[in-house]
Amino acid sequence: MEATTKQFTQSAAKTLSDARIQDSLRGLYGGFSKARERAAEATPGWEEMRTRAQAVKSHTIANLDYYLEQVEARVTESGGNVFFAQDGEAASRYILDLAERESVKRVIKGKSMLSEEMDLNRLLAGAGVEVTETDLGEYLIQLAGDTPYHIIAPAIHMSKNRAAELLHRGVGAEGREWDTAELTAEARRQLRDKFIEADMGITGANFVVAETGTLVLVTNEGNGRMCTSMPRIHVAVMGMEKVAPTLEDMSMFLRLLTRSATGQRLSAYVTTVDGPRGPGDEDGPEQFHLVVVDNGRSRILADPHMREALNCIRCGACLNACPVYRKVGGHAYGWVYSGPIGAIVTPMLTNLPDSRDLPYASSLCGACREACPVRIDIPRMLLHLRRELAEGRNKNAPVAEAALMKVWRLSVSNSGTLAAANLIGRALRWPLLLLGRLLPPFSRWARYRELPRPVSPFRSRWKDIFRT
Amino acid sequence: MQASLFVSCIVDQFFPEVGESTVRVLRRLGVDVDFPPGQTCCGQPAFNSGFWNEAKPLARRLLRQLEGKEHVVVPSGSCASMLRVFYAELLRDEPAALHAAKELAPRVYELSEFIVDVLKVTDASEIGGRPRREPEKVTYHEGCHLRRELGAVTQARALIGSAPGAELVEMEQPDVCCGFGGLFSVKYPDISGAMLADKIDDIRRTGAGAVAACDSSCLMQIGGGLRAQGLPIRTVHLAQLLDEAATPG
């Protein structure tokens, strides 16, 4: 997917002025976020489980080579093929070659954010293969030629009427209200034939269990399961960090994932796949391919300050919890992943200079870390990226900002300079306030609130009133 | 009990009355308060913007000022977090300064923490003086750092709830950021302003006449927004609320 991270400010402004989207984003707090809190409260030992999950994740990531070899061995034993792809292009190439070799004409897809990184749909279409997304949200996104807005709810920004218009190709969709059940039924009708006709199913991977080689998919619509079982070939693409060492670990992550994502104790469907159809199996694909994708993840792995970002299980809880995401929406983040997790992984997986706005798109309130089921310290990593931008090897801070920082630092460097700054500030109070009202960005600040005014400082009052 | 006041640069320069209330409240509770005179800023603005090289000398300097103090009390959850939590991150590559930061950390308290956890006062009417304030509904905005870096969720609520004349009414989303975030509000004033608008709506829905917080930075943002909208809701720092309730009339 083409990164549009440079347009953060413009894209955010567009969302801020869209009242309908603001309404649906506001709903995330009372919806997903509250549901998560209720589910967490109802789960005995929730905090301990988060701590344990964090430890298991960190251990797994630190020993990723070992666990990935285990995955490869187990999947191969059960008759599957494993391909390690350095980047999205290599992963797509593998799938395109396979499609060509097997004369694949039609592909159905389960929800996969990684495939968005790879731009897989566009590449398959370019090779003359018909691709159909089968997750309802992703299907709507595909019909609209749009990109996902949210990690687990890709079409959350779309109104029901817009969905109806897309599903009915604009014919007869106008002039009435649509309900969700009706729209779902229509999508189901359209997708039914696609499932039956498909030669290949492509899915993501929520987890892959190292000790058994089991692929685990978590969905609420059941479409993912059909992608794994109906076509003759099943290809799963997994980010290389999605390993769970044991089945027991996986079940812990599963409990955390569904509760954190939607507040559900369990999603409607949890599908496990152990290789292709074996002798005596009633159904299942003839071939199973697992494509393990790096695509920049080893850069994260190699950076001790950022490594923890690989612990993410993609539940989307940090998006729902984030007051900035709830204002700017998913598209502002400019790439596959949005919200707080997007603000740290996008600069790492694409590049930092182009995504320089993202680490600053946070008040560092920490709501993301509070919500994260594996306690990822996102604010700390945002700070690290800011430091990289301000004074790291890829220094990239605006001159005015660095200069302002110098002036500020000089004024607070000791009590004498602070006293001088205070006197200057008070003497120039009115010109400064006027300047503040006229000069961006302070003028935009002043649009929403009054600028503070320097007064006789506490330290002089201390001398007058309190020192005895 | 001895306590050193780190008043924070924002209180010193813009909200000195908060510092005054802090001293009065602590003194009424029998605390011997001192004010290390060389203090300026903890360095958080630079730290948060990535300019760690600008923040480090300020941190080292403040650590020297506060060295050996029995308790350091800060009328700001955010600045207290800087000292207690973030100095260890900022100074991680400087063994001597890091040592000093780790020595200091357990002795740093935000004001409500100090009153409740150290002085063991949970009933604000114990602060003394005669109740002066007219009965008033007060809603409480949780500072992000106070809640999530210091983990102090209950202390301020207990004090507000028991302050003579104050009735604590909770917002629907008391723990959601007001949108200030220091540099964030300057870099993204419109996003910050939109967050502020939601916060103000939430405050209005409580019907409270005052919004209290433990950080003057949040109150500057919220108060500035309330005044810009012309709303008759006042902002009050916890120290002022406790001071008002106790000032002999």
Q: How far is CA B241 from CA A388, B73, B94, B137, B138, in A?
A: 41, 17, 40, 12, 10
Structure tokens at A83: 């391909």
- What is the pLDDT, as a whole number, of residue A382? 98
CATH for A118: 3.40.50.10420
Rounded Cα gap, residues B142 and A365, in angstroms: 11
- N residues, chain B: 249
Residue A442 touches partner B, C-beta closer than 8 Å: yes
Rounded Cα gap, residues B7 and A461, in angstroms: 12
Taking residues B229-242, report their average pLDDT.
96
Domain that includes residue A423, residue range: 412-466
Give me the phi and psi of A196, to 5 degrees please: -70, -35
Taking residues A210-221, report their average pLDDT.
97
Asked, for residue A318, whether it belongs to a domain, the answer is no
pLDDT tens string A71-84: 999 999 999 999 99
∠ Cα B144 B146 B148 (to 5°): 60
Taking residues A186-215, report their average pLDDT.
97
Going by the DSSP 8-state scheme, the letter that residue A269 receives in this structure is: E
Asked, for residue A310, whether it belongs to a domain, the answer is no
**DSSP structure string for B208-222:** -SEEEES-HHHHHHH
Rounded Cα gap, residues B13 and B6, in angstroms: 13
Residue B44 touches partner A, C-beta closer than 8 Å: no
Taking residues B238-242, report their average pLDDT.
96
Rounded Cα gap, residues A376 and A358, in angstroms: 17
Indicate whether A50 and A192 sit together in one domain.
Answer: yes
Cis peptide before A441 (omega within 30 of 0): yes
Rounded Cα gap, residues A142 and A126, in angstroms: 15
Highest mean pLDDT among A163-172, A316-325, A414-423: A316-325
A246 three-class SS: coil
Indicate whether A186 and A48 sit together in one domain.
Answer: yes
Whether the CB-CB separation of A74 and A211 falls below 8 Å is answered with yes
- What is the pLDDT, as a whole number, of residue B249? 47
pLDDT at B147 over 70: yes
Report residue A97's pLDDT band, with 50, 70 and 90 as the boundaries.
very high
Which amino acid would we find at residue A182? E
Indicate whether A150 and A275 sit together in one domain.
Answer: yes
Asked, for residue A462, whether it belongs to a domain, the answer is yes
Helix, strand, coil in percent for chain A, rounding step 5: 55, 10, 35
Distance from CA of A364 to the nearest CA of B (A): 7
Taking residues B72-86, report their average pLDDT.
98
Say which residue, A169 or B122, is predicted with more confidence: B122
Percent of chain A whose pLDDT exceeds 70: 99
Indicate whether A116 and A240 sit together in one domain.
Answer: yes
Asked, for residue A227, whether it belongs to a domain, the answer is yes
Distance of CA A102 to the CA centre of its chain: 33
Rounded Cα gap, residues A358 and A361, in angstroms: 5
Whether the CB-CB separation of B119 and B31 falls below 8 Å is answered with yes
For residue A466, which residues of chain B lie inside 8 Å, CB to CB? 20, 23, 33, 35
pLDDT tens string A266-288: 999 999 999 999 888 888 999 99
pLDDT tens string B153-193: 999 999 999 998 899 999 999 999 999 998 899 899 999 99
- What is the pLDDT, as a whole number, of residue A467? 65
Asked, for residue A25, whether it belongs to a domain, the answer is no
CB nearest A462 (choices: B35, B89, B191)? B35
Taking residues A171-186, report their average pLDDT.
83
Helices B238-246/B155-162 angle, 10° precision? 30
Rounded Cα gap, residues A149 and A158, in angstroms: 9
- What is the pLDDT, as a whole number, of residue A445? 76
- What is the pLDDT, as a whole number, of residue A468? 56
For residue B173, which residues of chain A lie inside 8 Å, CB to CB? 29
ipTM: 0.96
Rounded Cα gap, residues B180 and B163, in angstroms: 27
Asked, for residue A370, whether it belongs to a domain, the answer is no
Whether the CB-CB separation of A40 and A33 falls below 8 Å is answered with no
Q: Where does a domain end: A244, A274, A297? A: A297
Q: Where does a domain end: A270, A297, A324? A: A297
- Beta strands A269-273 and A214-219 are antiparallel
Say which residue, A201 or A426, is predicted with more confidence: A201
Distance from CA of B21 to the nearest CA of A (A): 11
Judge residue A152's burial from the number of C-beta atoms within 10 Å of its C-beta, 0-12 exposed, 13-18 middle, 19 or more buried: buried
- What is the pLDDT, as a whole number, of residue B200? 98
A182 three-class SS: helix
- What is the pLDDT, as a whole number, of residue A435? 79
- What is the pLDDT, as a whole number, of residue B59? 98
Indicate whether A289 and A420 sit together in one domain.
Answer: no
Which H or E run includes A270? strand A269-273
For residue A412, which residues of chain B lie inside 8 Å, CB to CB? 9, 40-41, 58
Report residue A185's pLDDT band, with 50, 70 and 90 as the boundaries.
very high
Asked, for residue A332, whether it belongs to a domain, the answer is no
**DSSP structure string for A9-40:** HHHHHHHHT-HHHHHHHHHHIIIIIHHHHHHH
Report residue A252's pLDDT band, with 50, 70 and 90 as the boundaries.
very high
B window 113-142, beta carbon within 8 A of A: none
Domains identified in chain A, total number = 2
Whether the CB-CB separation of B78 and B43 falls below 8 Å is answered with no
Structure tokens at A115: 């495939």
For residue B33, which residues of chain A lie inside 8 Å, CB to CB? 466
For residue B179, which residues of chain A lie inside 8 Å, CB to CB? 323, 363
Asked, for residue A334, whether it belongs to a domain, the answer is no
A window 308-327, beta carbon within 8 A of B: 323-324, 327
Report residue A444's pLDDT band, with 50, 70 and 90 as the boundaries.
confident
A84 three-class SS: strand
Taking residues B197-203, report their average pLDDT.
97
Q: Where does a domain end: A233, A267, A297? A: A297
Structural domains of chain B, with CATH: 2-116 (no CATH), 123-246 (3.40.50)
